[in-house]
Chain A
Amino acid sequence: MKNKWIAGLFTAIFFVAAIILAPMVQAAYPEQSFELIVHAGAGGGSDTFARTMAFILETEGIVKQKINVINKTGGAAANALNYLASKKGDPYVLMNFSSGPVGALGRGISKAKFEDIVFLAEIIEDPILLFVLNTSPFKDLKGLVAYAKENPNLLASGFATVGGSEHIGTHRIEKAAGVQFNKVGFGSGAASATALLGGHLAFALGNVNEQMGQIEAGKIVPLGTLSEERIPFLPNVPTMREQGVNAIYQQIRGFVAYKGFPDYARKFWQDAFAKLAETKAFNEYIDKNYCVKQLKLGDAFKLDVAKQIEDADADLKTLGLKK
């Protein structure tokens, strides 16, 4: 009899202590270093972005623990997503999120599903533009489209990865303008840009930051951007939509976690990313890399991605990349 009472008393004390102490545990978060998963290899756009953001978070003191970037390449981002899924419930694991994982989720090739992803924050948009050589006979999008209408499948265009942002982007232009291009994949933005410079392509799609040097030298000319609005640092480049081709592709970059990610961790990181977006270092990065700040936390981010997946669904099926 006495034992039961004493046991019960201790249990009660334990529970009360836990309830009192729990917020202290959460307040102590983070107590160990983080893992930041990147689905691409070292040196690429996603990897450099992730490493830079981690560095800024650390040096600005927003996150007082070390953030270790690990590359989990393979499987068109499926590998990284699967690894993230294996860390369910771990408050110390995050993942860099951009077109690669969006595609993987859309095609359903990973164990992680869209509903399982905890969307922390979207931070930037990396606009995609359509480029031609300065010696091109096409001076604007209208001319390009008109020629393409007369000559289906004649104009060669370059994109990076199959099913990637430029591939789907080009396809959307085709759909919107009612034309057919000869789309050729090059495996990377750099290779596609090189082919364009060499005069082997009529045009290519790509990120701004890869091409800014060439743009400033006047070697390549952007004819239009696939973003919703004009890009601040390229105010003279009209959007596709403005030019009568209703094709939009938003390439966004942000950070996510997996289901089971504790609420206190989620709140911490959303605050952290909001602070990050205000730092001088971040804004310098934006300027130097020609992207656009676009901060969307939690559900707003999730909505963006859901829409992207939905929009890309038809494209992926038409392109034969999804059954």
Chain B
Amino acid sequence: MDILHNLMQGFGTVLSPYYLWIATVGCFFGTIVGILPGLGPSATIAILLPLTFNMNPTPALIMMTAIYYGAKYGGSTTSILINVPGEGASVVTAIDGYQMSRQGRAGAALGIAAIGSFIAGIIGTFGLIFVAVPLANFSLRFSAAEYFSLILMGMLTIVFVGGKSITKSLMSGVIGLALGVVGIDPVRGAERFVFGNANLVEGISFTVVVMGVYGIGEVLESAEERMKLKPVKVEFSKLWPSLADLLESKWAILRGTIIGFMVGALPGAGATIASFISYGVEKGVAKHPERFGKGAVEGVAGPESANNSATSGSMVPLLALGIPGSGATAVMLGALMMFGLKPGPMLFTTSSDFVWALIASMFVGNIILVIMNLPMVPLFAYSLRLPYKYLYPAILLICIIGSYSLNTQIFDVFVMLIFGVIGYFMKKFDIPGAPMVIALVLGPMLEYSLYQALSLARGDVTTFITRPISATLLGIAVVMAITVTFKTIRMKRAMIDEEEN
């Protein structure tokens, strides 16, 4: 078979000492970047771009791709250990991952995250090989109306990620929507709630809010407890995921992989949205959804797999059509152009050696990453035994540096601290932070797609239902909403019955 032959050639190139070294360096940097909140893979790749000018395109792109998915492996580490997401795609992981950590199962969470990421990465790369071109062409049919429905689906997960009180989740979500309004309106470029401050014109940065609410908020709350919380006891047996954990997660991993790959392949939708949707789906199909938010392993397995296969997914439009699927792939597109490789439908034919070497490197990279990450799991889990009086100042420092590194603006640091205080109060009043964060990300996107969809349809509102893909997505969203509502009602009824008896 042609594909097999090409793939073997690709491996031939990649399995040489220099290329393996390049891939390892990329994976390592990527993991670090993922772990540290603030700097994301796209910015890192852009900064390292000039270093690659002296390289040939193949090793350069191999390194960039390795950084890209390496970051997704690393991002879950801080989410799980200290409830500070390393980047957007790891926010939902923090919900159940951190709870598992508090229960002494940090090793299990980290291990499942790594294993899920690995499986998703491998399957995703296979997906890239076999379905890239048809998937890319299908994804072109997604116009604004379809994005709107997809994002609406993502927003429904707000209700799911909130935990016990749906009212509080919705409250948090609305606050997030309000925060998302700050900035420039998509239609006229008019400023909204900017108060003349140039720093707010691009809106309130999601990363900064996440670091504030989760990182600083966490530290403030613990400081109030005067560190009465003892470091979590970590038993040696719990440093790894158990067989039971693995078996429980297998479907979550599979579902997450598929969701992540498909969502990642859509230009403009990436790992973050994929992880939200995966979480929502897992909670929706679970037999006992009330476990979510309290340390359900599927809540880690699904989203972590989704965010990794989303990276392979976002390579689909890049390699098949020359369209960037996300921020990091946009940088890679720029790099491809600088190297004279013309990204576009012809890339597979004109530069087939390069493309297959890149794909082979993705397999190799995933293997390198799982080898790098799995043995580190017990080490990281053990690090939780560090007394909080050392841990929390470190968190503060990392968050401050991270938020400053985004735009080299002190303003971002102030915003983060303000949200730290807000996060503290939210924790005190038991208002979940995840809905706010999700709404902050998805709100502006929702508004933008709504405006575009209606513009393209020249004001015709039925466009969302008359377009088949959009209608399907809306249908799925409605089904998801009804299913979870029924489950919740049944659960509440059961609780009331119990009390009465």
Contacts and interface: CB of A to CB of B under 8 A. Distances in A.
Contacts of B47: 42
Contacts of A288: 337-340
Given A48-B334, A191-B268, A213 B344 contact: yes
B488 interface: no
B191 to A, nearest CB: 9
A136 interface: no
Nearest to B458: A182
Interface stretch (B139-147, B246-254, B358-366, B473-481): B139-147
A48 B455 contact: no
B143 A198 contact: yes
B452 interface: yes
A62 interface: no
B458 A193 contact: no
B346 A216 contact: yes
Interface string B406-424: 0111000000000000000
Contact of A153 (B186, B340, B458): B458
Contacts of A171: none
A194 B331 contact: no
A44 B335 CA distance: 11
Given A72-B407, A190-B323, A78 B198 contact: yes
Nearest to B203: A74
A48 B49 CA distance: 9
Contact of B43 (A42, A201, A216, A289): A42
B345 A75 contact: no
A198 B317 CA distance: 12
A190 B330 contact: yes
B456 A75 contact: no
A199 B140 contact: yes
A75 B199 contact: yes
A320 B188 contact: yes
B65 to A, nearest CB: 14
B289 interface: no
Contacts of B407: 71-74
Contacts of A308: none
B473 to A, nearest CB: 16
B187 interface: yes
Contacts of B163: none
A166 interface: no
Contact of A75 (B144, B201, B458): B201
Interface in A128-154: 153-154
A186 B323 CA distance: 14
A275 interface: no
A197 interface: yes
A187 B186 contact: yes
Contacts of B184: 76, 162
Given A72-B407, A162-B189, A288-B340, A55 B201 contact: no
B193 interface: no
Contact of A43 (B45, B53, B342): B45
Interface residues of A, number: 57
A190 B107 CA distance: 41
Contacts of B45: 42-43
Nearest to B330: A43
A43 B331 CA distance: 4
B10 interface: no
B456 A182 contact: yes
B481 to A, nearest CB: 28
A13 interface: no
A154 B409 CA distance: 44
B88 interface: no
Given A51-B49, A74-B202, A75-B201, A200 B456 contact: yes
A45 B334 CA distance: 8
Nearest to B347: A213
Contact of A54 (B50, B339, B452): B50
A188 B330 CA distance: 11
A288 B452 CA distance: 33
Contacts of B458: 153-154, 182
Contacts of B199: 74-75, 79
Contact of A289 (B202, B331, B338, B347): B338
Most buried by B among A55, A186, A209, A214: A214
B435 interface: no
Nearest to B199: A74
Given A43-B334, A55-B53, A212 B323 contact: no
B475 to A, nearest CB: 21
Interface in A181-227: 182, 184-188, 190-191, 193-195, 197-201, 209, 212-214, 216-217, 219
Given A72-B407, A185-B187, A217 B323 contact: no
Nearest to A82: B198
Contact of A193 (B142, B323, B327, B334): B323
Given A42-B46, A43-B334, A214-B345, A321 B188 contact: yes
B267 A217 contact: no
B50 A52 contact: yes
Contacts of B333: 190
A156 B452 CA distance: 11
A110 B201 CA distance: 12
Contacts of A195: 143-144
Most buried by A among B43, B142, B343, B344: B344
Nearest to B54: A59
A47 interface: yes
Interface string B180-220: 00001011110000000011011000000000000000000
Interface in A36-85: 41-45, 47-48, 51-52, 54-55, 59, 70-76, 78-79, 82
B202 A75 contact: yes
Given A162-B188, A198-B141, A184 B346 contact: no
A156 B324 CA distance: 22
A289 B341 CA distance: 10
Contacts of A101: none
6 contacts: A52-B50, A79-B198, A190-B324, A191-B268, A193-B323, A213-B345
CB-based closest 10 A-B pairs: A213-B344, A42-B46, A43-B331, A198-B140, A162-B189, A75-B198, A213-B322, A75-B201, A200-B143, A74-B202
Interface of B: 42-43, 45-47, 49-50, 53, 140-144, 184, 186-189, 198-199, 201-202, 267-268, 317, 321-324, 327-328, 330-331, 333-334, 337-340, 342-347, 407-409, 448, 452, 455-456, 458
Given A190-B267, A201-B456, A212-B344, 6 more contacts: A41-B42, A55-B53, A153-B458, A156-B455, A190-B330, A214-B322
